[in-house]
Amino acid sequence: MIVLSDKKTEYDLKQIELLSKKFGLFPETCEILLNRGIKTESEVEYFLNPGKHHFADPFTLGGVKEVVDRLDLARNNGETVIVYGDYDVDGITATTVMTSVLREYGVETVIPFVPERADGYGLNTDTLDKLIEEYFPDLIITVDCGISCYKEVEYIKQLGVDVIVTDHHELPETLPDCPIVNCKIASEYGFTWLCGAGVAFKIACALMGKKAYKYLDLVALATIADSMPLIGENRDIVYEGVKFIKEGNACLPLKELIGVSNLRDVSSTGLAFTVAPRVNAAGRMGDANSALTLMLSKDSQTINRLAIKLNEYNQARQQECDVLYRSAKDKLISSSYDKKIIILQDDKWNSGLVGIIAARLVEEFSRPVILFVNNDGKLHGSARSIDAINIYEAIFNCRARLTDFGGHSQAAGISLDISQYEAFKKDLEDYIDKTYDYSCFKPKKTVDLQINKHFSLAFAKQLSLLEPFGTGNKKPTFSIKTTDVLALPMKAGSSHLSIKTNFIDLLYFNGISQKDLLSSGAEKQIIFEPNVSVFNNIETLKGYVKDVDYVIEPSKKITLESFRQSLLTVFNENDDYLFVDGEEIKKIVDDAENSHFGTIFALYNPDTLEKYPSLKSLDTSLYETFNRNLVNNVVLGLTANNVNGYRRVVYLDRPLGAVKPISVNETFIIRERRAFNYSRLQTEKSVFGDLFKKIRDKEYFKAESSVDFALKCDLGYSKMQVVFTMEVFIELGIFYFNKGYLRYNPTVKTNLELSKIYSEVEKLKY
């Protein structure tokens, strides 16, 4: 379901006009700004001019003054300080920034440390014992962790070591009893969305002033990688950091990573999808310290060697992720397809990769996902969620069975004894069941504007003023509502489509499976991002299709499309089909009201749906299901595409022949109801001869399919007869469609009886 940004009020329309004139912006650009909460002249001025001039006084961030005083003491007394971080991009860069700044500030001995994933997130007593025994520190300062470690902080203090906690995660019920800097704690600073490296950067600014700005490249990378919203000071940090990198001022480790990533266009998006995964890959593959060593190194040979190593880790990580994804998806489909929250566990999974796979499954199935890995009787899980469900809050309400947890509304980490797994799973499933209704799980696709006029190159270029893009400030997306488009492969054999619309030319990468749907009479909204490319100093604009949303309403064209599909289902038999009568089908339909997942109701004649009023509330699609979350839905003219994971298909009417085999547990087909009265179709040779001449006379007629042709041409026969006849001719190779035009092949000489479609219709006449 596509959701447009808030509808403009009369006040907004006036404000759009005012802002457009004031800042020289297209009205559409102003509308995007307003819909993102940027409404006043001062807010627009601030947003369009991000940068370090907006940086807030670091001492307004709560706890910074106390921390600076303690670090002054460490410097003046020649103390040994351990910087204790985390194994992800944010933790590694935060450790790098804090370590580098303290050394430059004059602290005598600074020991950087990040745990491996196998050691668990945050402080733990076993690791602390080893560190304290080896280095005899006077002070441990955490970065990107520690806020949930009250007991561990007390343990450190009992050993005679001071502690400072700097973090950005959600606040627990009991805070550690030590100096704390956490942007979530209310203070004059007021901005709560810094990442761990962002908090470290504010402390660095308090210690060094503007000299700390040389670390903006790393802080920007961390902010992007940790999916922090690019608003407020985060937007300023990322803007300056990306600019810093583009100007060639990035630190050598980051330059080397950009090189091995083959990243040509440095942007927030590019860093997120190329550099960040390589830094994360080290920790995910059990070697976070190689990433930390890389970031802190000054030796060019070491930097080159470690950058290549991280690149190799990333390649291995991708391969392992594919295996883990298939394993988790198989478990989901077999055991959790009907749950509002997906909770799975496996001893063989890599704990460093389950977060990635959980996020992937959330996107695919539109439900929260928690994946657990067993480590000597202790389960460590990564949770990811959809926008409508606060997973941290849900876990908090079931915390009694946990040994540890932390995170935020969309992601969390969890630890528990394996003996508590089933009980915790039930508690959380019950909580989600009671708290959230099924409307929360319906995928929503939000776009900034619906386009109903020419999309100009100048407007596309102006959108760059809204960069940097990322969480909280996504790259603008647009939609076009249409029924008829010309969708053709970019070249022979290509899986990519070139799409012509009245407003903008589009490219749909790997969209070949959608060609028939795009060409169908279904009303569709095409979601796209504009892209400006330059070749030989010539700028061109293309839209990149991100998704297509179909609205299936009964119409002559939809009925003909379904009829055409019903003719094409005669080529396969399957002994596993369960033929049932109308009463049995009705019972299955009634039962589905209490089971929201796992069933596709297939039909070919849209009028059949009138017999089942309760199904009208379900999503209806053409040819295939678009509900990747396995929710029950209705499909007109079902093909074998995209049914993976569904438990059963229920055919409410019968096509011309046997339906195509589909990989589901059960297939029910109504025995007595044919989708259409096929016996009324004319099969006389004289009729086919007459239509052959009329169709041949239309060679080079502009049409995409037999349905499109039948609707555009009056040949003196019913539209269904024309579609039927043309599909027989197409099956025999006499006619075909190429690049949007009807073509005739004069070399084909054949008999009608060789057509399976023709033969099946003939059978029904006797």
Q: What is the pLDDT of residues 158-212, one digit of tens each?
A: 999 999 999 999 898 899 999 999 999 999 999 999 999 999 999 999 999 999 9
Cα 187 from chain centre? 34
479 falls within a domain? yes
Whether residues 73 and 207 fall in one domain: yes
Q: Is beta strand 404-407 parallel, antiparallel or unpaired with respect to 411-417?
A: antiparallel
Whether residues 24 and 68 fall in one domain: no
Interval 362-387 mean pLDDT: 91
Which residues neighbour 275 within 8 Å (Cβ) at sequence distance 6 or greater?
A: 221, 254, 257, 258, 261, 263
For 314, phi then psi, to 5°, come to -65, -40
At residue 298, the pLDDT reads 95
Which residues neighbour 510 within 8 Å (Cβ) at sequence distance 6 or greater?
A: 495, 496
Whether residues 421 and 449 fall in one domain: no
Whether residues 387 and 345 fall in one domain: yes
175 falls within a domain? yes
Which of the listed residues 650, 676, 702 is the one where a domain comes to its end?
A: 676
Whether residues 270 and 392 fall in one domain: no
Cis bond upstream, residue 58 (ω within 30): no
Q: What is the CATH number of the domain that holds 694?
A: 1.10.10
Domain count, the chain: 6
User: What strands, in cross-sheet order, belong to the sheet with 180-182?
Assistant: 109-113, 80-84, 139-143, 162-167, 180-182
CB 260 within 8 A of CB 275: no
At residue 570, the pLDDT reads 61
- Residue 121 above 90 pLDDT? no
Give per-residue pLDDT as tens, 677-727: 999 999 999 999 999 999 999 999 988 899 999 999 999 999 999 999 999
Torsion of CA 618, 621, 624, 626, to 10 degrees: -70
Average pLDDT, the chain: 91
Which of the listed residues 658, 676, 694 is the one where a domain comes to its end?
A: 676
Query: Residue 372 is inside which H or E element, if any?
Result: strand 369-375
At residue 100, the pLDDT reads 98
More confident residue, 605 or 662: 605
Whether residues 744 and 631 fall in one domain: no
- CA 579/CA 671 separation, integer angstroms: 5
Give the HSE-up count for residue 639: Cα atoms under 13 Å, Cβ half-sphere. 15
15 falls within a domain? yes
- Residue 639 above 90 pLDDT? no
Q: For residue 376, what pLDDT band results from cuts at 50, 70 and 90?
A: confident
301 falls within a domain? yes
Tokens coding 192: 């709560």
Burial class from Cβ neighbours inside 10 Å (0-12, 13-18, 19+) for residue 14 reads exposed
- CA 487/CA 314 separation, integer angstroms: 36
Beta bridge partners of 162: 139
Whether residues 305 and 264 fall in one domain: yes
Domain hosting 185: range is: 58-312
Q: What percent of the chain has pLDDT over 70?
A: 97
Give per-residue pLDDT as tens, 291-314: 999 999 999 999 999 999 999 999
Question: How far, in Å, are 20, 24, 44, 360 from residue 41 at the CA level?
Answer: 10, 12, 5, 39
- Range 46-55, long-range pairs (CB < 8 A, 24+ positions): 47/235, 47/466, 48/23, 48/465, 50/235, 50/236, 50/239, 50/240, 50/468, 51/236, 51/239, 51/240, 52/213, 52/216, 52/236, 52/240, 54/233, 54/236, 55/205, 55/233, 55/236
For 468, phi then psi, to 5°, come to -80, 150
CB 302 within 8 A of CB 293: yes
- Residue 496 above 80 pLDDT? yes
Interval 224-238 mean pLDDT: 95
Whether residues 377 and 468 fall in one domain: no
Q: For residue 257, what pLDDT band results from cuts at 50, 70 and 90?
A: very high
326 falls within a domain? no
Among 31-45, 74-88, 661-675, the range scoring the smallest mean pLDDT is 661-675
Whether residues 190 and 274 fall in one domain: yes
Give per-residue pLDDT as tens, 302-351: 999 999 999 999 999 999 999 999 999 999 988 888 899 999 999 989 88
At residue 572, the pLDDT reads 54
Taking Cα atoms as reference points, which of 564, 569, 561, 565 lies closest to residue 756?
569
Q: What is the CATH number of the domain that holds 222?
A: 3.90.1640.30
Whether residues 413 and 450 fall in one domain: no
* Residue keyed to tokens 């994360």: 280
Whether residues 702 and 607 fall in one domain: no
- CA 572/CA 546 separation, integer angstroms: 34
Whether residues 424 and 453 fall in one domain: no
- Residue 589 above 60 pLDDT? yes
43 falls within a domain? yes
Query: Residue 373 is inside which H or E element, if any?
Result: strand 369-375
Q: What is the CATH number of the domain that holds 563?
A: 3.40.50
At residue 12, the pLDDT reads 83
Among 206-220, 493-507, 656-670, the range scoring the smallest mean pLDDT is 656-670
- CA 236/CA 193 separation, integer angstroms: 13
320 falls within a domain? no
At residue 142, the pLDDT reads 98
At residue 697, the pLDDT reads 95
Out of 5-14, 242-251, 669-678, the most confident range is: 242-251
Which of the listed residues 441, 472, 507 is the one where a domain comes to its end?
A: 441
At residue 371, the pLDDT reads 97
Q: What is the CATH number of the domain that holds 509?
A: 2.40.50.460
Cα 761 from chain centre? 45
90 falls within a domain? yes
Question: How far, in Å, are 213, 214, 448 from residue 208 at the CA level?
Answer: 9, 11, 41
For 730, phi then psi, to 5°, come to -65, -40
Query: Residue 346 is inside which H or E element, if any?
Result: strand 342-346
At residue 536, the pLDDT reads 84
DSSP secondary structure letters along 443-474? --EEESEEE-S---HHHHHHGGGGPSPBTTBP
